[in-house]
Amino acid sequence: MTEQIKRIFGIDLGTTYSSIACVDEFGKAVIIPNAENERVTPSVVFFDDDSIVVGDVAKESSKLYPNEVVSFVKRSMGEPNFIFLHNSEEYRAEEISAYILKKLAQDAEQQLGEKVTDVVITCPAYFGINEREATRKAGEIAGFNVRHIINEPTAAAIAYGSLDSNDERVVLVYDLGGGTFDVTMIDIRKDSVEVICTGGDHNLGGKDWDDRIVAHVVELFQAETGTDEDILDDPDTWQDLQLSAEKAKKILSQRPKTPMSITHGGERVKILLDREKFEEITEDLLERTIEFTKEMLDEAKNKGYTHFDEFILVGGATRMPYVKTRIEKVFDITPKIFDPDEAVAKGAAIYGWKLGLNDGLIERLAQKTNKPIEVIDDISAMIESKELFAQDFREAAQEVADATGYTLPSVERSMLKVKNVTSKSFGVVAHTPQNEEIVFNIVLRNTTVPITRKKNFYTAVVDQKTVLIRIMESETSRVEVPPEHAMEIKTAVLNLPPNLPADLPIEITFTLNEEGRLHITAMETAESRQIDVLVDTASVIQGEDLEKAMARSQNLVVH
């Protein structure tokens, strides 16, 4: 491999487990095991006095030091009021996630003897703007050049699509992870992966199944010992049960029953949990995933997709046998369990690899055609419009193939287009003629991104100085939504030039890029001057907190 093509790594930053992958010299995506030689690393962080420990050791430590261990931090991404206190220092979810990322990268560097600089990180399709921004920030705090934030089901589909790339088909990705559930319909074609529709719940995942087991055994413990005490108030017991519940769930996916033991306050109770009981106490959770899938299929119908070819299961929790049987029964199709723990990281790595090859191609094409690099963005569109010659492209591709050792077809295929949709609707708070506040959605959910939409707003008085725009995120496909059904994600202040008349249209432009990041521009229409838009994302780490986190992370070695 030459130095010219920078290796871009794919990271699956999961609620319960994370992993890192790259594409090897044979063009195949591989998981890089961690220092403990495990292919997935628990997303658990242990603050051990002065050092920070991530992974299995941290997870095991949670039983002994429950108050120094953070788990499931992904569920708090973008939550401004989540704070972990250690040695009177405050840590936010973004920073704790950064430590997980650091651990993955460090171990990979050790294995490969190569620095990890550029990464593609995945997040649930159902993440909103704040959570995405927070994920990107976590990568930055860890010191990476975050090339892209890509949706988990999209990554899984890329991994799935790369297996047999000649077949064009519509697949449904049912991704039940440790903490989140996504269901996505994806159209896989020769040169593109297009997301049609997506839905889900980022508070529904394997952990909820574990929690049900915990609650169940607590009841049994109370019945057995005759105590009314909530034994979960004891952090040691809580952590202990949380871990054994996870183990029990995994065993029950393989065997019909499993023994469990609960020790608390000197009393020890042994119980036998069988699969039937487990499925009974968690049935409603499974039912919710089915409902989300049905709703998503309804939405897909509105976009003209009435049929899908394959139903693939991703995410560790899909190993529970009744997931498969229930889906078979409801949707009359045999789902395929596809590499449930690793598909996402691998897909991200493939996507990163293609980005890298694409970079190389662009660089060479720029040299050949004497065009600046920035001009060449969409190569296939440029070939089609005759701005580039096919001959130049083939030569450049051959050069890249020679330099990297990858085959010519795989280099040519690096132009794979990924089309995504936004999982949320975005709009602003506006006033109706009756002077009621409503949210006017400018970009509706399940719209293909990138997208640019414009809308005019009007100044209210002569010589108005500023306009306050409240940017709202919601989960409906309606244009007008009552404010209480939407969430304010950002506020933007437009500073207007002096001496504008009243009722002057100000053109506001919403641009959602392919990652789902939102950019806003504004223009006053009197003299077409561009106006400053100050955007404030209060709920994601920023300013002093961010700098502090960056500084702390720079000198930190994660164990």
Partner 1 sequence: MQRENYYIILELSVDPPENDLEIIKKTIQDKKIEWSRLRNHPTKGLQIQKFIDMIPDIQMVMLDNDLREKEAAAAAELLQAGRETKISEIDGHIDILMGKGFISKEDVIRLAELHGLAQSDINDRIATRQNAKYARLDQLISLRMGKGYLLEDEVAKIAKKNGLDPEEIRKRIRCPIVKDDKESEDLKIRPLDKSIEKALTDNLKVVGKTSLYDFLGLPETAEITELQEKATRRKKGLSAEGKKDAMVTAGITLAGQCLTIFKTNETRIAYDVSRAIAKLSALDSDINVAAINKKIRHEYFDALTTKAMSYGMDREEAISYIQSFCEKKNYHIEAKPKKKQRVLVNAVASVLLLTLLAGGGMAWYKIHHKSVRQAEYQALITQVDAQNSADQKLLLLRKYVDSHPAGEYSDDAQGRIQKIQQEITTEAFNKIILQADELIQAGHLENSLAILNQYVEKESDPENIKTIRQNIQQVSDLMEKRDFEELSAVALSGDAGQKISIFRKYLQNHPNGKNKDQVQSLISGMSDEYFIYITRQLAVYEKSSQWEDGAGLCESYIELYDNSHSDQLKQVLSVYQENIRQEKIYAALKEKADHLGADYTAALQIFKDYLAAYPKTTITEKITQDIDRLNGLIAIENINQAANRLRENLAGTKGRFVEKNSGVILDTRTGLMWCMTDSTIAQPGACLPYEKGKEYVDSLTSGGFSDWRLPTPEELSGIYETDPAFPASANLSYWTSESYSGYSDGWQIQVTTLSSEDGRHWKKNQKNALECGAVRAVRNP
Does 487 participate in binding partner 1 (rule CB under 8 A)?
yes
Q: How far is the CB of 241 from partner 1 (least distance, A)?
A: 8
What is the Cα–Cα distance from 215 to 332, expressed in whole angstroms?
33
DSSP code at position 81? T
Q: How far is the CB of 539 from partner 1 (least distance, A)?
A: 10
Long-range contacts of 111-117 (CB under 8 A, 24+ apart): 111/32, 111/33, 112/22, 112/32, 114/7, 116/9, 116/20, 116/144, 117/6, 117/144, 117/145
Does 207 participate in binding partner 1 (rule CB under 8 A)?
yes
227 is written with which tokens?
A: 């105590």
Q: How far is the CB of 212 from partner 1 (least distance, A)?
A: 6
What is the Cα–Cα distance from 141 to 62, expressed in whole angstroms?
25
Tokens 């055994």 belong to residue: 217
Q: Strand pairing of 487-495 and 466-474? A: antiparallel
Return the closest-CA partner of residue 291 out of 204, 194, 212, 187: 204
- Which of 111, 369, 448, 476 is in the footprint of partner 1 by CB under 8 A? 476
Does 181 participate in binding partner 1 (rule CB under 8 A)?
no
Give the per-residue contact string, 248-277, with partner 1 (x = CB under 8 A; - = no): -----------------------------x
Q: Give the nearer residue to partner 1 in terms of CB position, either 219 or 463.
A: 219
- Residue spans of beta strands (DSSP E) within 6-125: 8-12, 17-23, 29-31, 41-42, 45-48, 51-54, 69-70, 84-86, 89-91, 118-123
Q: How far is the CB of 234 from partner 1 (least distance, A)?
A: 12
Q: Strand pairing of 310-314 and 336-337? A: parallel
Q: How far is the CB of 412 from partner 1 (least distance, A)?
A: 42
Q: Considering only the stretches 24-32, 116-124, 230-238, 502-510, report the one whose residues sit in contact with partner 1 under the rule CB under 8 A.
A: 230-238
Does 229 participate in binding partner 1 (rule CB under 8 A)?
no
Does 216 participate in binding partner 1 (rule CB under 8 A)?
yes
445 is written with which tokens?
A: 């959910």
Give the per-residue contact string, 9-48, with partner 1 (x = CB under 8 A; - = no): ----------------------------------------
Does 413 participate in binding partner 1 (rule CB under 8 A)?
no
Residue count, binding to partner 1 (CB under 8 A): 55
What is the Cα–Cα distance from 366 to 293, expressed in whole angstroms?
45
**Exposed, middle or buried, 183 (CB in 10 Å: 0-12/13-18/19+)?**
buried
Q: Give the nearer residue to partner 1 in terms of CB position, either 85 or 337.
A: 85
Residues that bind partner 1 (CB under 8 A): 67, 71-72, 75-76, 79, 81-85, 90, 201-203, 207, 210-212, 214-220, 223, 228, 230, 232, 238, 241-242, 245, 277, 280-281, 283-285, 287-288, 291-292, 295, 424, 472-476, 481, 485-487
